[in-house]
């Protein structure tokens, strides 16, 4: 046991270990990267996080940087939940639902960061409530990571991103101080700025950055829309009435500005009734046209799925109803459509209208949950989960470029360019697209132990994000850019924007103790050195689907 491990064990209620095997396990997350930490802390109470942060800060003041990385379920696909120094594992003990308020005028839930999204929603459904922005990895993704990454999910086209549902946060700052963030008025802001503490210093600095950078924030950053590359939440901190809220900065910051210790989320009403339609098309372009038309009917979910994903799954022995008895039947793409309106009348009218449109638009096979079990249709939507574990142990399908968004009017152009990009890199890139918000998921098949494929990783990310930026898309929507995509993403940003982001980070993290390497540029040699040659995704295989 190291001296630091022993010292921290003496001062925190939770457990601290530098066990080799445990550190090895925490060196990996859902990304293709691997970085081994020095020790792991399993905090039992918020005060444990504060003590560890204060210890790290005091070391940094003396010139010894022992960085901190907050971690939930470790499902982050951008390398944001791994790092050198100390891993703060919130999943072990900080996993309680503190309070549920089901009152219809002010529904909310108060939780600790280690509660998984699936556990939260399963619990509050009994109260008729739901947080609808759950990601596809809800079984393992914690609420803390969902907020820190500003996750989106299957219903985000209608309900927005997780950050849109955050009411308040409790955050441990880099020096161990504890603050609560919520919107405060002009008078309360003056009081905050008058504090002779790190919190007061933050309010003064962030307000100063906003004042000094107003043209950049107004003309460039505020137009980012869904994109959470960097710290675009700065555009939402100060309103015209002078009110102020630091919450938007912490949302999507991936633990680089502070460690979230408690969260209050708004909730929506939960409806158990759902109408599902699956439509197969012989021509993929016709399917995309149909998706554009169906989106006007306002479904809760509308997913476009490339037929190649089903073709690959069929090589694994999977059978799909829309092929019928003719396994050679030509399918170009599939649309998965769902409606969850509370009133039966409007929902049924939407379904009826959608079925008529699909029949006219060339849907060759149409399935509904009137004649098929919901689970059968869910399996079609989650076809990617069948193929993410290649049969060869030397092959893997890592999430390298998932999570960018393409505007509707540029998607045909995008599909053509993506095919050209796949040819350039000698890979296949079949896609699934959340049509309502344009989020694209596609994974290459790679052999990361081979030099050529190791080099291909960062070249592919760079080329892909350049394409997304060229088409006016958002580079990071489903989650942040982390350390995997940061360098490529920042190459597409204006220097004045990057300067604002640098100032923000320096204000919150002057000694560089909070998740260094995440949301920061790095050189290619360093990036390649962190590649996990043995990546397989097997750590999360029990939580299928992983898409």
Quickly state the pLDDT bin for 47 (edges 50, 70, 90): very high
Q: Does this model's pTM top 0.75?
A: yes
Contact 129, 108 (CB under 8 A): no
What does DSSP say about strands 97-101 and 333-339: parallel, antiparallel, or unpaired?
unpaired
Residue 296 burial (10 A CB sphere; 0-12, 13-18, 19+): exposed
Contact 522, 483 (CB under 8 A): yes
184, 211, 246, 327, 367 from 510: Cα distances, Å: 25, 21, 17, 61, 56
- Encode pLDDT of 25-45 as tens digits: 999 999 999 999 999 999 999
Contact 344, 273 (CB under 8 A): yes
DSSP 210-238: HHHTHHHHHHTGGGGTT--SS-GGGGGTB
First to last CA, the chain: 39
255, 269, 459, 481 from 485: Cα distances, Å: 16, 36, 11, 5
CATH 3.30.465.10 domain range(s) in the chain: 97-269
Residue 391 burial (10 A CB sphere; 0-12, 13-18, 19+): exposed
Q: Is a pLDDT exceeding 70 seen at residue 296?
A: yes
Residue 306 burial (10 A CB sphere; 0-12, 13-18, 19+): buried
DSSP 303-349: EEEEHHHHHHHHHTT---GGGTT-TT----EEEEEEE--SSHHHHHH
| CATH number for region 274-475 | 3.40.462.10
Which helix H or strand E contains 124, and what residues bound it? helix 117-124
Neighbouring CB atoms inside 10 A of 228's CB total 29
Chain-centre distance of CA 359, in angstroms?
A: 35
Starting at the earlier edge strand, list the strands of the sheet with 178-181. 97-101, 108-111, 259-266, 166-172, 178-181
Determine the pLDDT at residue 324: 62
* Contacts with 313 (C-beta within 8 Å, 6 or more apart), sequence order: 320, 383, 386, 387
Give mean pLDDT, residues 190-206: 98
* Contacts with 280 (C-beta within 8 Å, 6 or more apart), sequence order: 322, 331, 333, 334, 363, 364, 365, 366
Name which of 31, 123, 138, 53 is nearest 508 in CA terms: 53
Neighbouring CB atoms inside 10 A of 36's CB total 14
Name which of 465, 463, 517 is nearest 490 in CA terms: 465
How far apart, in whole angstroms, are the C-alpha atoms of residue 442 and residue 398?
A: 9
How far apart, in whole angstroms, are the C-alpha atoms of residue 123 and residue 514?
A: 32
| CATH number for region 97-269 | 3.30.465.10
CATH 3.40.462.10 domain range(s) in the chain: 274-475
Q: Is residue 202 classed as helix, strand or coil in its secondary structure?
A: helix
Contact 38, 18 (CB under 8 A): yes
Farthest-apart Cα atoms in the chain, separation? 74
- Encode pLDDT of 89-140 as tens digits: 999 999 999 999 998 788 999 999 999 999 999 999 999 999 999 998 899 9
Of 481 and 104, the structure prediction assigns the larger pLDDT to 481
Please write down the long-range contacts of 369-378, taking CB distance under 8 Å and 24 or more positions apart. Answer: 369/274, 369/275, 369/276, 372/321, 374/274, 374/276, 376/321, 377/276, 377/278, 377/336
* Contacts with 388 (C-beta within 8 Å, 6 or more apart), sequence order: 397, 443, 537, 544, 545, 546, 547
Determine the pLDDT at residue 545: 54
- Encode pLDDT of 378-391 as tens digits: 999 999 888 777 77
Q: Is a pLDDT exceeding 90 seen at residue 462?
A: yes
Q: Is a pLDDT exceeding 70 seen at residue 149?
A: yes
- Encode pLDDT of 330-380 as tens digits: 889 999 999 999 899 999 999 999 999 999 988 778 899 999 999 999 999
How far apart, in whole angstroms, are the C-alpha atoms of residue 141 and residue 121?
A: 12
Q: Is a pLDDT exceeding 50 seen at residue 547?
A: no
């Amino acid at each position: 046991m190291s001296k630091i491990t022993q010292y921290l064990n003496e001062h925190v209620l939770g457990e601290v270990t530098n066990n080799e095997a445990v550190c090895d396990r925490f060196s990996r997350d859902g990304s293709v990267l691997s970085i081994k930490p020095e020790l792991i802390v399993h905090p039992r109470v918020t005060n444990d996080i504060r003590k560890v942060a204060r210890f790290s800060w005091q070391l940094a003041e003396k010139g010894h940087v022992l960085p901190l990385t907050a971690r939930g379920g470790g499902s982050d696909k951008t390398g944001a939940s791994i790092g050198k120094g100390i891993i703060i594992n919130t999943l072990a003990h900080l996993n309680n639902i503190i309070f549920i308020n089901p009152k219809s005028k002010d529904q909310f839930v108060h939780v600790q960061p280690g509660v998984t999204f699936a556990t939260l929603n399963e619990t509050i459904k009994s109260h008729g409530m739901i947080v609808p922005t759950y990601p596809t990895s809800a079984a393992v993704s914690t609420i803390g990571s969902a907020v820190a990454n500003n996750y989106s999910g299957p219903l985000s086209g209608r309900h927005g991103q997780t950050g849109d549902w955050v009411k308040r946060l409790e955050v441990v700052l880099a020096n161990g101080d504890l603050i609560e963030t919520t919107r405060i008025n002009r008078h309360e802001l003056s009081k905050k700025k008058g504090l002779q503490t790190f919190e007061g210093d933050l309010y003064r600095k962030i307000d100063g950055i906003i004042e000094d950078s107003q043209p950049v924030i107004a003309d460039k950053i505020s137009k980012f829309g869904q994109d959470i590359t960097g710290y675009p939440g700065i555009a939402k901190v100060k309103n015209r009435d002078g009110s102020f809220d630091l919450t938007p900065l912490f949302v999507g910051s991936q633990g680089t500005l502070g460690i979230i210790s408690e969260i209050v989320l708004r909730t929506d009403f939960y409806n158990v009734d759902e109408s599902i339609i699956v439509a197969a098309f012989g021509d993929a372009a016709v399917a995309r046209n149909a998706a554009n038309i169906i989106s006007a009917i306002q479904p809760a979910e509308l997913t476009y799925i490339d037929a190649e994903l089903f073709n690959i799954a069929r090589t694994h022995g999977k059978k799909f109803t829309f092929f019928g008895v003719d396994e050679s039947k030509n399918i170009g793409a599939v649309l998965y459509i769902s409606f969850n309106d509370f009133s039966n009348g409007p929902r049924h009218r939407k379904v009826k209208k959608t079925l008529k449109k699909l029949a006219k638009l060339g849907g060759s096979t149409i399935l509904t949950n009137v004649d098929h079990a919901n689970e059968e249709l869910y399996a079609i939507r989650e076809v990617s989960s069948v193929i993410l574990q290649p049969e060869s142990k030397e092959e893997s399908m890592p999430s390298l470029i998932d999570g960018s968004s393409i505007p509707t009017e540029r998607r045909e152009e995008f599909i053509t360019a993506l095919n050209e990009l796949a040819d350039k890199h000698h890979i296949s890139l079949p896609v699934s697209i959340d049509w309502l918000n344009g989020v694209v998921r596609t994974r290459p098949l790679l052999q990361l132990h081979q030099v050529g494929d190791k080099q291909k990783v960062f070249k592919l990310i760079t080329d892909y994000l350049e394409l997304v930026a060229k088409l006016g898309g958002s580079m990071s929507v489903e989650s942040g850019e982390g350390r995997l995509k940061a360098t490529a993403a920042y190459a597409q940003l204006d220097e004045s924007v990057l300067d604002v982001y640098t100032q923000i980070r320096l204000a919150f993290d002057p000694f560089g103790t909070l998740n260094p390497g995440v949301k920061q540029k790095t050189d290619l040699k360093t990036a390649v050195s962190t590649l996990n040659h043995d990546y397989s995704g097997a750590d999360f295989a029990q939580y299928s689907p992983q898409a």
